[in-house]
Every structure is written in C-alpha cells, then in structure tokens.
Amino acid sequence: MNKLITLEERPEGKPSESNFEIKTEEKPALKEGEILLESKFISVDPYLRGRMNDGDSYIIPFKLHEPMSSMVVAEVVESKNEGFEKGAYVSGMLQWKEFQTHDGKGLNKIENKNVPLSAYLGVLGLTGLTAYLALDTIGKLKEGETLLVSGAAGAVGSVVGQIGKIKGCKVVGIAGTDEKIAHIKSKFNFDAGINYKTTDDMAKAIAENCPDGVDVYFDNVGGNILDAAMQNINDFARIINCGAISIYNKEEVPKGMRLEGIMVKKRALMQGFIVRDHYEQFPEAIKQLGEWLADSKLDFDETVREGFENVPKAFLEIFEGKNLGKMVVKM
C-alpha cells in the first residue's frame, strides 16, 4: 500500500494537524511513458499556508480531500520512459505521497551528486533561487550598502544575508531567538542581528544596528517589522516584499502605518516578488549559487525531520520558528 497526505479542511487562522489526513491507497501501477517515483525528501514551506485557503492568488488553492503538494526530491524506482533511468534522482512539484507515477514533464534531473540531495529543496532549489533572483531583480545591491533582512535564520533569509556579504554589503538580520542571532553572525558572517521577540522598539533597534540607514530591506515577514524597517530607509532604498509570514495566520489582516509619505520622501522602490515569474533566469542563478557553494562562499542550514507522517507537523513548526535554515522531511 501507498501512503498519501490530503487536505481535509481549510484552516481558519493557525493551521493544525487536524487539517490534514494520512490515507492509504493501492501502490500505483506504471503505464508506458511513465516513471515510478519514491519520495526521498519533502519540502515544507510557508507559502503552502496560502494555498490552503480558497481564494484568488498567484497560485491555485489546494483542493479539499486531495493530496497536498510541494517540491520533492524523489528516486526513479521504475521507468517506462526512456528519458529517465531507474536509480536517477529528480526534483519537482510533486504530491505528498510515498510513491507516485509521473510522465517526467517539468522534473529537474539531479546530476551533481556533490551536494546533499536535500539541498535541491533549499539552497539549490526555490529557496536559493528566491534569495538570488529577488536581490538581482529588485535589490540591486551595491558594495558598501546596508542590507537588512528579516527571517534571517530561515531558508531564504540566511542565503540573502550571505549574498549580501559576497556583494560587500553590511548585513543585519532579524530573527526570533538569541541563538539564531549568534548563529547567523558566526556561521554566515552577518554584521549584526536583532531578536524581534525580545526587542520592544524595533525601529530604534534597527536604527542602532544600521547607523548608515537601510538601503535594501529584504522582507520575509511583513507586519510590524516592515513598519519598523520603513522608518529607517535611506533615499532610493529598495524594499523587497518576498513574504509576510507574520500575517499568514491572521484571520483579519492587521493595520499598520501609512507608507506613502516615506515612499515619496525617500523616493523608495517597494516591489513584490514571486520566484516563479523568473523561470528563464533559473539556470543562470543555479549556476552562480552552485559556484559559490563549491568555492565555500555560500553555506546553508537544514532542519531535517524524519518520517512521512511527520510532514504536516514539520510544516506547522515553521510558524513557530522551530527551523534553522530549510525545513525538510526525510522519508
């Protein structure tokens, strides 16, 4: 039998394990032209929360009583498709199933075995691509500028900070524990860090840690932290709206400060970013990220949970900040 995880109800506010169900089905049989994939690592990501809602978005909502999906690294365990050999590894947007059949279209073949397989869900997957391409297309970092990043000890944020250091910037990170702050400074060479959970006045803390102001704010969290960052931006600052995890589970969108005055006065640019819009640049970005990894200019963290049944729990843990770097589940 084959196990799968479905969405059974749409969460109101914070999601819980009861929103999901682990079911069993017959192991799928292979048709001509197909491959049988065995999941090895499943990525759990904050954006999946948005897909659990029913509503208009840049990506279609998950259907009730049907399997969840996310980026997965899988092994080809049987093949009736001449493009894929048995024993090969692939990554792609796949269902939360132990085994599944696929026609191979849209899957990425994993050729470079010098990095762990799970890295194809993180630094060499959508995480690394998001950090690299959002900085490239909107951030346009210049040497000597100050880069502020929230969610700094997470998957995207930790890569953003390291790219900032590679580009010769002063990098300040915001994260939720003192251990995370110490870690991003010692492992990734962040210049400074702010624990938003123990800081009463975030605008003042950002001012103290960014004495020359903020040239680029890479926002992974939104909410009050965005408001505090906006009070410290320089002329011609670039604000990248990559994510807003602080409001994903709110039943009502919280109100914040008005930004238009600051935007005009500072002639700032604020732009939303969705990595999938930049598909044509993926090869060039992966090449650069791979080179930095090989040259030890870039490093990464992973939090690895084990067992297919623990995929929903690992997903929920992201919202509690239990992860350092990319959260993945190993089968």
* Residues in touch with ligand NAP (CB under 6 A): 45-47, 126-127, 130, 151, 153-157, 175-177, 180, 220-221, 242-246, 273-275, 318-319, 321, 323
CA torsion through residues 303, 307, 311, 312, sign:
negative
- Distance (Å, rounded) from C-alpha 70 to C-alpha 86? 23
Residue 19 makes CB contacts below 8 A (sequence gap 6+) with 7, 8, 9, 10, 11, 52, 312
Report in angstroms how near the CB of residue 277 gets to ligand NAP at its nearest: 8
In the complex, what is the shortest distance from the CB of residue 165 to ligand NAP, in angstroms, rounded to a whole number?
Answer: 18
In the complex with ligand NAP, the residue whose CB is nearer, 148 or 318, is: 318
CA distance 75 to 143: 42
Q: What is the dihedral of CA 54, 56, 62, 65, to 10 degrees?
A: 30
- Nearest approach, Cβ of 240 to ligand NAP (angstroms)? 9
Query: Closest approach of Cβ 278 to ligand NAP, in Å?
Result: 9
Q: Which is nearer to ligand NAP, 59 or 294 (CB)?
A: 59
**Single-letter amino acid code for the residue at 51:** R
Residues whose CB falls within 8 Å of the CB of residue 75, separated by 6 or more in sequence, listed in order: 37, 38, 40, 87, 88, 89
Considering beta carbons, is residue 36 or 225 the nearer one to ligand NAP? 225
Pairing of strands 170-175, 146-150: parallel
Minimal distance in Å, beta carbon 48 to ligand NAP? 9
CA-wise closest residue to 220 among 152, 277, 145: 152
Which CB sits closer to ligand NAP, 207 or 316? 316
Smaller CB separation from ligand NAP, 125 or 290: 125
Shortest separation between residue 315's beta carbon and ligand NAP, angstroms:
11
Of 46 and 139, which has the nearer Cβ to ligand NAP?
A: 46
Ramachandran angles phi, psi of 201, nearest 5°: -115, 95
Kind and range of the H or E run holding 67: none
Q: Cβ 52 to ligand NAP, closest distance in Å?
A: 13
In this structure, the chain runs to a length of 331
What is the separation of C-alpha 87 from the centre of its chain, rounded to a whole number of angstroms?
A: 28
Pair 238, 141: CB distance under 8 Å: no
Helix (H, G, I), strand (E, B) or coil at 246: helix
Q: Which is nearer to ligand NAP, 35 or 239 (CB)?
A: 239
Helix (H) or strand (E) holding 31: none
Tell me the C-alpha distance between 118 and 141, whole Å.
Answer: 29
The candidate with the shortest Cα–Cα distance to 219, out of 313, 139, 276, is 139
- In the bound complex, what is the minimum distance in angstroms from residue 154's beta carbon to ligand NAP? 2
Quick one: 6 or 323, whose CB is closer to ligand NAP? 323
Shortest distance (Å) from residue 157 CB to ligand NAP: 5
Closer residue to ligand NAP, CB minimum distance, 71 or 94: 71
What are residue 99's DSSP bridge partners?
38
